[in-house]
Amino acid sequence: MKKTIETISIDEVCNILSISKATVRNWMHTGKISVVENDEGNLQFAKNEILRLKSQIDDGSIKLLQSRRNKGAVKGHFVATEYVSYKPYIDLAKQIISWVNSEPRLTSSNYDSTHLIRLVLLEVAFKFLRDRVVTHNNNNLKHAIQTLSENLSSLKLSPEVQQLLENVKNLEIPYIEGEDFLGLLYMALSQLGERKRKGSYYTPVHITDILAERALEQFIKNAEATDSIEIIDPCCGSGNFLIRLYLLLKKKNISARLSGFDIDPIATAIATINMFLIMGFPASEKVNRSLMLEAGKINFMIETIDTLDFTSDKSYDLIIGNPPWGYHFSKRELTELKQRYQAYSGSVESSCLFIEWAIANLRQNGVLGFVLPESILNVTSHMKIRELLLTNTRLDDIEQTSKRFSNVYSSVITLVATRSTNNKNTNNISNITQVRYLENPHYIINIATSCQENEIVQHMKQKPGNLYLAGNASFGLGIVTGNNKRHLHKTCPPLGEVILNGTAINKYQIIEEELFIEYAPTKYQQVAPESIYRAPEKLIYRFINKKLIFSYDNRQRLTLNSANIVIPELPGYDMKYVLAILNARATQFYYTCSFSSVKVLRKYIEDLPIPVCNDGKQTAIVSLVNHLLAENEKKQRDKIDNAAVVTEIFEEIDRHIMELFQLTQQQQALIKDKIKG
């Protein structure tokens, strides 16, 4: 009798392995995963095979998903050192984590880690609560304690767990007003990979402080009155923003109601405990009536709610927080979100949906204050949320953080905006008129571009007769082998040939590295039509770079995915003329001010203006390009130092391009000051 194989869908595979559908298909193509059934595109996979693959990935026997780019596959405990300002808390959290890690049973995949997490959190919470006098209705506190202790009383604790709790109990952990040690500990005890699948990222304390103060100050500036204001953090986590706002409101003597929503019941339980702690008083302190009345001016309510699925019956004066980034929604959730949110696109970014929710739930002149990935400002897939922001709010303040957070690989901004449709006037961001962003391609919010720089961009864009590569070029992606160790070689095999990667590409120069491949397109995850690679001439450019770096190839060489290809097809224009434009300072200036992306995307290249040029001028520029290519080849072949000659030719080409764009001497000086070399 034939044994029945339990099968699962591609969505379930993605969820188990924490990978995208594109990666599943790539792994199918390269034989890492096999399909059991394929009925009219309905892919089915053997569940036991996928679970076995996951186990092999987790134990390291298969080296997949090791890159930092695979957020869902990251494992282990991480103490967010920037989350608190009281540094002894860092050492205390690390001490507790070291005790957990020292016991293999407590870290094995078979152990229910949520039980352990809640037991440790309860131990610390009781330690804090014993030393505080609670001034508010304690029914919510009881509920929070019940949430953390649910189903724990019947557990038979192992000797390892008992010893761990005894160790925690004996630790000297002082309660420090304004700090969130419980939240720090919860994050450290949680699996890093699981937090990232949920899009959960911590907020460094200095960012929390700055954003809370700026957002509240903006609301006070907007408001006619500040009596009993409504504030919510729709993704409150353990309550760090609510803690900071409470202290600010108390200092300014403002009455308010603080609300917090989060989908994680443990986080909301911690947030509730944190609010009781900060609103209480030391047990050793004598509490008089005036202190009690003062404490009663600020109320709070923390609820376990899926904010994106919640329709509020009220609007808010201030909405603040650090919404999830890159949350992995289920298929059902995606279907429902598509019906509710305009910001839904092919690839849904959870932070965009939270921005839209906030805009919809803000009162007129209410203020939004969010920590967000910088990609919100310029990535094309976020175009709709930028349009909603620009048409429904006034952007009051956007700040790029000075450095990335530990274990967070996206650049980060803070955004403060006021709910208003009267938003075309000058705002506080470098005195830029907001309507400018609405006129940008893809509504890109290029905050680093000054008004003077933008005038140059507009001058270049509006030059009569400009040509564009959109519809006038063929593009090709470099090869993704799926397994570089198998397909790439340091020495040339019998049927091998050179393949170029991004680092081989320099302006007007290709420096071949010792990298070879036996071309077998059917074996690769990604490959362009061979006609692209074998074109008589083509331009190759670095894909990952803030700079435009293009070179010329007439040797039909292959490229990896870090080096992509464009073949200009502008009637009457030499490819080397287009090369000169793409490598020019003026074009780099336009690109930097307009897009500010670390990925040189096709759509950006297609949006770059190419000035019209008469035959005589074009011949002169192409001649200079040929001279520059020859000098660079001579430098590489003969190992000579001709840097002065190369620079002189580059500068001469640059002068021609500046003239073609009809830039004034002042404009040219500004471009040269911003774009070095």
Report pLDDT digits (tens) over 15-45: 777 777 778 877 877 777 887 766 555 778 8
Cα–Cα distance measured from residue 661 to residue 657, given in angstroms and rounded to the nearest whole number: 6
pLDDT range class, residue 673, cuts 50, 70, 90: very high
| Helix pair 240-252, 265-279: axis angle to 10 deg | 20
Decide the pairing of beta strands 298-304 and 256-262: parallel
Q: Quick one: pLDDT at residue 72?
A: 45
Q: Total structural domains in the chain?
A: 4
Evaluate the CA torsion angle 545, 548, 549, 554 in order and state its sign.
positive
Whether residue 162 is found in the same domain as residue 210 = no
With respect to residue 269, please indicate whether it lies within any of the assigned structural domains. yes
With respect to residue 457, please indicate whether it lies within any of the assigned structural domains. no
User: Does the pLDDT value for residue 73 go beyond 50?
Assistant: no
Of 192, 194, 191, 197, which Cα lies nearest the Cα of 327? 197
Q: Quick one: pLDDT at residue 290?
A: 53
Mean pLDDT value across residues 262-286: 88
Instruction: Encode pLDDT of 450-502 as tens digits.
Output: 889 999 999 999 999 999 999 999 999 999 998 899 999 999 999 999 999 99
Whether residue 585 is found in the same domain as residue 512 = yes
Mean pLDDT value across residues 431-446: 84
Q: Quick one: pLDDT at residue 517?
A: 97
User: Does the pLDDT value for residue 65 go beyond 60?
Assistant: no
Whether residue 220 is found in the same domain as residue 350 = yes
Q: Residue 43: which CATH number? A: 1.10.1660.10
Instruction: Encode pLDDT of 196-232 as tens digits.
Output: 455 456 799 999 999 999 999 999 999 887 778 999 9
Whether residue 31 is found in the same domain as residue 119 = no
User: Does the pLDDT value for residue 298 go beyond 70?
Assistant: yes
Of 346, 358, 357, 399, which Cα lies nearest the Cα of 377? 399
What's the mean per-residue pLDDT of the chain?
87
Q: Hey, is 481 helix, strand or coil?
A: coil
Whether residue 50 is found in the same domain as residue 156 = no
Cα separation values, 101 from 22, 68, 97, Å: 35, 22, 6
Mean pLDDT value across residues 163-191: 93
Whether residue 280 is found in the same domain as residue 179 = no
Helix (H) / strand (E) element for 499: namely strand 497-500
With respect to residue 66, please indicate whether it lies within any of the assigned structural domains. no
With respect to residue 82, please indicate whether it lies within any of the assigned structural domains. no
CB 629, CB 621: distance < 8 Å = no
Instruction: Encode pLDDT of 368-416 as tens digits.
Output: 999 999 989 988 889 999 999 999 999 999 998 865 555 565 689 999 9
Q: Quick one: pLDDT at residue 512?
A: 86
- CA-based Rg of the chain, rounded to a whole angstrom? 29
With respect to residue 65, please indicate whether it lies within any of the assigned structural domains. no
Whether residue 496 is found in the same domain as residue 519 = yes
Question: 416, 447, 478 — which closes off a domain?
Answer: 447
Whether residue 214 is found in the same domain as residue 124 = no
User: Does the pLDDT value for residue 127 go beyond 50?
Assistant: yes
With respect to residue 72, please indicate whether it lies within any of the assigned structural domains. no
With respect to residue 481, please indicate whether it lies within any of the assigned structural domains. yes
Determine the residue type at 50. I
Whether residue 164 is found in the same domain as residue 215 = no
Mean pLDDT value across residues 519-538: 96
Q: Residue 415: which CATH number? A: 3.40.50.150
What is the extent of the structural domain holding 642? 467-675
Whether residue 331 is found in the same domain as residue 399 = yes
**Looking at 126-191, which runs of residues are DSSP E strands?**
132-133
CB 129, CB 273: distance < 8 Å = yes
Q: Quick one: pLDDT at residue 67?
A: 47
Mean pLDDT value across residues 544-563: 96
Question: 165, 191, 217 — which closes off a domain?
Answer: 191
Instruction: Encode pLDDT of 606-638 as tens digits.
Output: 999 999 999 999 999 999 999 999 999 999 888
Of 238, 145, 161, 149, which Cα lies nearest the Cα of 195? 238
Whether residue 492 is found in the same domain as residue 382 = no
Whether residue 44 is found in the same domain as residue 184 = no
